[in-house]
Copies of this chain bind each other. A is one copy, B any other.
């Protein structure tokens, strides 16, 4: 264990299910002497990446809230897309969960979400949550814009039930890419269906998607054209705004670099 990994391994212990740890528990879990853990933890507490709670437990520190906020206010995808999620929800014919998601390592991560006030069920799509790469329209609209060797690598990391399943997935991906949108049913949450379009910006390295998730019970065939129209309209709008933000950033950097 060296470098940043030393710290990362400790942080990675903290989860929704288990959000506080003692030094002794960490020490056991990482098979590292407690004197070492004490020293490392002290550093991280000073930096506010951890904080001490009661009963000699430690938990994640406020630094994460602070940096998360900075991302929220500066990430081009969030900045451009967040304001449209509510509008999209309001214009959809039935109650929906609307999601912006992006590629995150070998997974897809939801970076912004808006649920209509009376949407009944809980969904897996909540900001910050990691989603499977190959299930659900949200993810598919992201992976369908990736090609060549990179796609191959990503797909090979996934566990398909059979080679047939894998080939079908690749085939579906191609046809979705042609159509320009995705639809899936119950792949992530039972009783829910998802529609999605791709969002991308090469210059900013953004590979993302905009999606609307509905209760299967609410859905009628006549809703479909409206849903697709909304998604494609707002998808283009988000891309346009991302581009504007990109130009703003460039301008800003040009200014700050020339004045110094």
Contact = CB atoms under 8 A, between A and B. Distances in A.
Interface size, A (range): 35 or more
B72 A246 contact: no
A66 B205 contact: no
Interface stretch (A44-52, A135-143, A147-155, A174-182): A44-52
A129 interface: yes
Contacts of A8: 47, 49
Nearest to A28: B260
Interface of A, helix, strand, loop or mixed by DSSP: mixed
25 contacts: A4-B7, A4-B43, A8-B49, A14-B67, A16-B70, A18-B252, A18-B256, A19-B71, A19-B74, A48-B105, A52-B205, A54-B203, A54-B205, A57-B253, A59-B75, A60-B67, A60-B70, A62-B109, A64-B67, A65-B68, A65-B71, A65-B127, A66-B109, A68-B128, A72-B128
Interface of A: 3-5, 7-8, 11, 14-16, 18-20, 40, 43-44, 46-49, 51-55, 57, 59-60, 62, 64-75, 102, 104-105, 109, 111, 126-130, 202-205, 246, 249-250, 252-253, 256
